[in-house]
């Protein structure tokens, strides 16, 4: 185990050195000046964190007044329980899918084939992840403690009461220490049980998620007074380890009992981990550790490549292809890629598209609405070229498909186009319901304008593509010219709608929107047909 301790210590030192590099502290420098600089960093960030948390404490006071104005301690406890419940449920769900202990591929080469005790390795790997996971909860606990101090301490808050004020935060922090360690150890325990070499069937682990959700639901309802008194007494006994952080006098006996429970959980984890399958854990988490390290040092292309391989690789269940023949298979390809590469950042982009049209009715004049519509056009143009750029990057394969250039473009853009139309119309109509309908004719213009924007953006990418570069996977990005062309094709029907009132203006702008879409599509189709001659 000495070699394992040495290996893990070096990994932890590298991680600490990485975070210290953000404040220009060099860990390998043992000079006196560098030690003075470290002391300065500790004092500076200590004061900065304290001032920041006192600032956020005023927000905590407002939260207390909303949740439970008569009992701020109960409100603080409820906030803490809700945060712990959400984190715990997510961690348990994650533990039933993959190992919570992260090992790198290098760890697999060094220790997976050795006869080292698995239990000792698991416990040695626990402390750094626990510390990183616990810090956000410590910050929340101290902030809630400061909020309780602002509500509880009478009179003005002067410098002479700084220690009393700080004591509230320290008590809340000390109370959450063993509780978080108990929950963190239980999450790792579930992961260790799942990867036990003696375990034959772990389907029963899925019972843990609904059971835990029911348990946390009862805790939260009891704090709000929504359950019978006998249940409340049991809940009070369970929550006493967290409650001591909000008492005027800290109960050291209860706190020590919390640490005893945490020690018991670690002992059980040690016993269960004796049968832990280290090779399976490394197989599940090796790529995750690689992605984490690469993103930390800014290798974004490697991160994207590894994430895509994980979503499309052997870890995924095989996809059942529908019976779609001909060009329609491109639509299914886009659906499959969207499902496999879905991320929250992509969801935020679609929410922006919805939000831009949602706020149209509340904007006061044509100028502000025009700015928002331009932002909407930019987002749509960027989304529209994502799939075509992905396909052009595998040019030798795409060019050999027995499809005409027009059918290829229609089916390749079809899924993104339909999704953009549905989300844009949903945002505009929802905004009309909430704020009152403004520019109602925009509903008829949106489908044609989105088609024009998409085709203009695709035309911009294709016209600058060269077959020789596409063979190497080099695809041009969307340029400002494509965005300006989309603004032009969208602006013509919009100006017609604004300047010509009545049914005539509506009809003319509708025809112009689809006319611009047809023109943009013909341009994109012509550019794609002649891409080999560029």
The answer to whether position 3 is within a domain reads no
The answer to whether position 353 is within a domain reads yes
The answer to whether position 303 is within a domain reads no
Label residue 136 exposed, middle or buried (CB < 10 Å: 0-12, 13-18, 19+).
Answer: exposed
Over residues 114-137, the pLDDT tens digits come to: 777 788 888 888 888 888 899 999
Over residues 402-423, the pLDDT tens digits come to: 778 788 888 888 888 898 999 9
Q: What is the pLDDT of residue 22?
A: 75
First to last CA, the chain: 63
Domain match, 158 and 265 both:
yes
The answer to whether position 318 is within a domain reads no
Over residues 91-104, the pLDDT tens digits come to: 888 887 777 877 77
Q: How confident is the model at residue 213 (pLDDT cuts 50, 70, 90)?
A: confident
User: Percent of the chain, pLDDT > 90?
Assistant: 14
Over residues 477-527, the pLDDT tens digits come to: 888 888 999 999 999 998 998 888 888 888 999 999 999 999 999 998 888
Question: What is the dihedral sign for C-alpha 135, 139, 145, 149?
Answer: positive
DSSP characters over 452-498 = HHHHHHHHHHHHT--HHHHTTT--PPPPHHHHHHHHHHHHHHHHHHH
Report d(CA 482, CA 385) in Å as an integer. 10
Q: What is the pLDDT of residue 308?
A: 64
Judge whether residue 451 has pLDDT over 90: yes
**Which residue segment(s) compose the domain that 368 sits in?**
326-533
Could you give the 3-state DSSP secondary structure of residue 276? strand
The residue with greater pLDDT, 166 or 26, is: 166
Q: How confident is the model at residue 260 (pLDDT cuts 50, 70, 90)?
A: very high
Q: What is the pLDDT of residue 296?
A: 66
Final residue of a structural domain among 216, 243, 276: 276
Domain match, 333 and 473 both:
yes
Domain match, 239 and 90 both:
yes
Domain match, 217 and 356 both:
no
Report d(CA 44, CA 364) in Å as an integer. 46
Number of H helices, E strands in the chain: 21, 0
CB-based contacts of 351, cutoff 8 Å, min separation 6: none
The answer to whether position 7 is within a domain reads no
Domain match, 400 and 268 both:
no
Mean pLDDT of 165-169: 85
**pTM score over 0.75:** no
Final residue of a structural domain among 210, 242, 276: 276
Domain match, 241 and 347 both:
no
DSSP characters over 138-198 = HHHHHHHHHHHHHHHS-S---GGGHHHHHHHHHHHHHHHHHHHHHHHHHHHHHHHHHTBTT
The residue with greater pLDDT, 339 or 360, is: 360
Largest Cα–Cα separation, the chain:
84
Report d(CA 453, CA 440) in Å as an integer. 20
Domain match, 185 and 332 both:
no
Instruction: Assess contact for 276 and 192: CB atoms under 8 A.
Output: yes
Instruction: Assess contact for 67 and 201: CB atoms under 8 A.
Output: no
CB-based contacts of 440, cutoff 8 Å, min separation 6: 432
Q: How confident is the model at residue 456 (pLDDT cuts 50, 70, 90)?
A: very high
Q: What is the pLDDT of residue 511?
A: 93
Tokens matching residue 350: 């679609």
Q: How confident is the model at residue 302 (pLDDT cuts 50, 70, 90)?
A: low
Judge whether residue 252 has pLDDT over 60: yes
DSSP lists the bridge partners of residue 196 as 276
Report d(CA 86, CA 268) in Å as an integer. 24
Q: Specify the number of domains making up the chain.
A: 2
Domain match, 225 and 108 both:
yes
Over residues 5-37, the pLDDT tens digits come to: 777 777 778 778 777 777 777 777 778 888 888
Domain match, 194 and 259 both:
yes
If DSSP states are collapsed to H, E and C, what string results for 392-439? HCCHHHHHCCCCCHHHHHHHHHHHHHHHHHHHHHHHHHHHHHHHCCCC
Domain match, 404 and 466 both:
yes
Domain match, 335 and 402 both:
yes
Q: How confident is the model at residue 359 (pLDDT cuts 50, 70, 90)?
A: confident
The residue with greater pLDDT, 53 or 204, is: 53
Final residue of a structural domain among 248, 276, 304: 276
The answer to whether position 345 is within a domain reads yes
The answer to whether position 107 is within a domain reads yes
Q: What is the pLDDT of residue 361?
A: 80
User: Percent of the chain, pLDDT > 70?
Assistant: 82
The answer to whether position 63 is within a domain reads yes
Question: How much is the mean pLDDT over the chain?
Answer: 80
Mean pLDDT of 43-55: 86
Instruction: Assess contact for 364 and 435: CB atoms under 8 A.
Output: no
Over residues 312-333, the pLDDT tens digits come to: 554 555 555 555 566 666 777 7
Task: Mark 182-212 as b/e (b = at least 16 C-beta within 10 Å).
Answer: bbbbbbbbbbbbbbbeeeeeeeebeebbeeb
Judge whether residue 154 has pLDDT over 70: no
Torsion of CA 388, 394, 396, 398, to 10 degrees: -40
Could you give the 3-state DSSP secondary structure of residue 289? helix
The residue with greater pLDDT, 158 or 369, is: 369
Instruction: Assess contact for 432 and 458: CB atoms under 8 A.
Output: no
Domain match, 260 and 371 both:
no
């Amino acid at each position: 185990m000495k070699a394992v301790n040495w290996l893990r210590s070096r990994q932890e030192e590298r991680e600490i050195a990485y975070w210290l590099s953000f404040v220009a502290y060099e860990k390998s420098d043992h000079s006196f000046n560098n030690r003075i600089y470290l002391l300065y960093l500790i004092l500076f960030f200590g004061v900065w964190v304290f001032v920041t948390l006192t600032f956020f404490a005023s927000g905590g006071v407002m939260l207390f007044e909303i949740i439970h104005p008569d009992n701020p301690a109960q409100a603080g406890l409820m906030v803490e329980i809700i945060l712990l419940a959400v984190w715990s449920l997510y961690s348990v769900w994650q533990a039933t899918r993959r190992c919570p202990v992260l090992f790198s591929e290098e760890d697999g080469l060094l220790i997976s084939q050795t006869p080292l005790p698995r239990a000792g390795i698991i416990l040695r790997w626990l402390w750094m992840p626990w510390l990183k996971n616990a810090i956000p909860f410590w910050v929340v606990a101290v902030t809630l403690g400061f909020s309780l101090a602002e509500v509880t301490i009478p009179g003005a808050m002067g410098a002479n009461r700084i220690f009393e004020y700080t004591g509230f935060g320290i008590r809340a922090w000390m109370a959450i220490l063993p509780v978080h360690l108990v929950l963190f150890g239980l999450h790792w325990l579930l992961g260790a049980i799942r990867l036990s070499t003696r375990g034959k069937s772990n389907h029963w682990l899925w019972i843990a998620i609904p059971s835990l959700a029911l348990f946390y639901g009862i805790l939260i309802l009891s704090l709000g007074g929504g359950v019978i008194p006998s249940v409340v007494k049991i809940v009070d006994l369970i929550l006493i380890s967290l409650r001591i952080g909000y008492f005027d006098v800290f109960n050291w006996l209860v706190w020590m009992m919390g640490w005893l429970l945490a020690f018991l959980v670690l002992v059980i984890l040690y016993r269960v981990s004796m049968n832990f399958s280290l090779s399976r854990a490394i197989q599940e988490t090796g790529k995750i550790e690689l992605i984490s390290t690469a993103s930390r040092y800014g290798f974004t292309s490697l991160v994207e490549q590894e994430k895509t391989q994980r979503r499309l690789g052997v870890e995924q269940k095989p996809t059942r292809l529908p019976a779609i023949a001909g060009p329609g298979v491109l639509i299914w390809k886009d659906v499959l890629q969207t499902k496999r590469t879905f991320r929250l950042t992509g969801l935020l982009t679609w929410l922006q598209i919805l939000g831009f049209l949602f706020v149209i009715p509340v904007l006061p004049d044509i100028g502000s609405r025009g700015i928002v519509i331009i932002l909407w056009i930019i987002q749509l143009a960027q989304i529209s070229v994502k799939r075509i750029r992905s396909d052009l990057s595998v040019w030798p394969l795409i060019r050999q498909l027995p499809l005409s250039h027009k059918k290829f473009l229609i089916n390749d853009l079809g899924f993104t186009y339909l999704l953009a139309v549905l989300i844009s119309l949903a945002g505009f109509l929802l905004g009309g319901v909430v704020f009152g309908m403004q520019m109602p004719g925009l509903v008829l213009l949106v489908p044609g304008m989105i088609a024009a924007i998409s085709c203009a953006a695709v035309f911009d990418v294709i016209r600058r593509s060269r077959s020789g570069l596409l063979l190497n996977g080099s695809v041009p990005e969307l340029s400002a010219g494509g965005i300006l062309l989309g603004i032009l094709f969208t602006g013509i029907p919009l100006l017609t709608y604004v300047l010509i009132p009545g049914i005539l203006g509506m009809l003319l702008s509708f025809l112009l929107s689809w006319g611009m879409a047809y023109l943009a599509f013909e341009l994109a189709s012509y550019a794609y047909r002649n891409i080999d001659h560029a």
